[in-house]
Amino acid sequence: MSTTPAATPACRLPAPIRLGVNIDHVGTLRQARGTDYPDPVEAALLAAAAGADGITLHLREDRRHIQDHDLERLLPRSPVPVNLELAATPEMLAIACRLKPPHACLVPERREERTTEGGLDVVAGRRAIAQACARLSDAGVAVALFVDPDPRQIEAALACGAPQVEINTGRYAEALTAAAQGERLAEVAAFARAARAAGLEVHAGHGLNLDNVGPVAALPEVVELNIGHSIVARALYVGLPAAVAEMRRAMAEARAAVPA
Ligand code: PXP
């Protein structure tokens, strides 16, 4: 009989998951009337006080919600890291390199779209995206690439020097049947595993709400979710701090249920 003590099973709890609250649609409401309220910066401070781990905002070319002064006012005041979503255009890269948010996420952008409609095609846009990643990294900004859960994007993201990817969960969120949603989730899960195994930090977001966040939050490779529209919409009924707290709770409960 072996005298070696029985090996205790390794305890491999998944890494904690962070919530980045996207405040764009506070800006949407303000811009609808051209007022100076509601203020996305005040909303960001409330969200942080309510447990947001980070604040995300998208400075779009058409400035339909977030304005340059929002980013300028938020950066020195935010108690949690700020994540700037931006298209890899000369204008936006110049702003990001000047203001140096700690995090940035490169997204595709089309003027006529209602919201970001799909991930970046890093394979097709490799050269320009690699240059953008290099400029941001040189400015000290940690870069994520927003991509669809298509395995070809992993190698391209690595080749561009991006340390992080954010998986577009839009197709999962928009699936009309449970079967379709299961298929889309399987794609997200497989992509998350492969991206993590390749050394990328994995985030996810788009279209997530209290009803569909659980299965994504339960993916152990995913360490950050960026969620905006559903939190801001829910805040109309329960207030922003409660809406943030509810989402944090839903994520934490899903994460706690992951087998070690
Ligand atoms: N992640 C990215 C890259 C996005 O572009 C958006 C929308 O701005 C989100 C997350 C948040 O999506 P939603 O507002 O649907 O929660």
Q: Contact at 8 Å (CB) between 166 and 205?
A: yes
Question: Ligand 1 centroid to 228 CA: how many Å?
Answer: 6
207 lines ligand 1 (CB under 6 A): yes
Atom of ligand 1 nearest to the CA of 209: 16
What is the rounded CA–CA span in Å between residue 4 and residue 20? Answer: 46
The per-residue pLDDT for range 57-113, each reduced to its tens digit, is 999 999 999 999 999 999 999 999 999 999 999 999 999 999 999 999 999 987 667
205 lines ligand 1 (CB under 6 A): yes
Q: What is the CA radius of gyration of the chain?
A: 19
The per-residue pLDDT for range 198-210, each reduced to its tens digit, is 999 999 999 999 9
Instruction: Give catalytic status of residue 174 as yes or no.
Output: no
Among candidate residues 25, 103, 203, 206, the one labeled active-site is 206
* Residue 115 scores a pLDDT above 50: yes
Closest C-alpha to ligand 1, atom 3: 146
Instruction: Give catalytic status of residue 69 as yes or no.
Output: no
- What the block records as the tokens of 143 is 């870069």
* Residue 119 scores a pLDDT above 60: yes
Residues 6 or more apart from 16 whose CB is under 8 A from it? 223, 255
Atom of ligand 1 nearest to the CA of 20: 10
* Residue 10 scores a pLDDT above 90: no
Closest C-alpha to ligand 1, atom 1: 205
What does residue 241 show for φ and ψ, rounded to 5 degrees? -60, -40
* Residue 4 scores a pLDDT above 60: no
226 lines ligand 1 (CB under 6 A): yes
Number of helices and strands in the chain (H, E):
11, 8
Among candidate residues 25, 65, 85, 166, the one labeled active-site is 85
Instruction: Give catalytic status of residue 206 as yes or no.
Output: yes
The per-residue pLDDT for range 219-229, each reduced to its tens digit, is 999 999 999 99
Atom of ligand 1 nearest to the CA of 206: 12
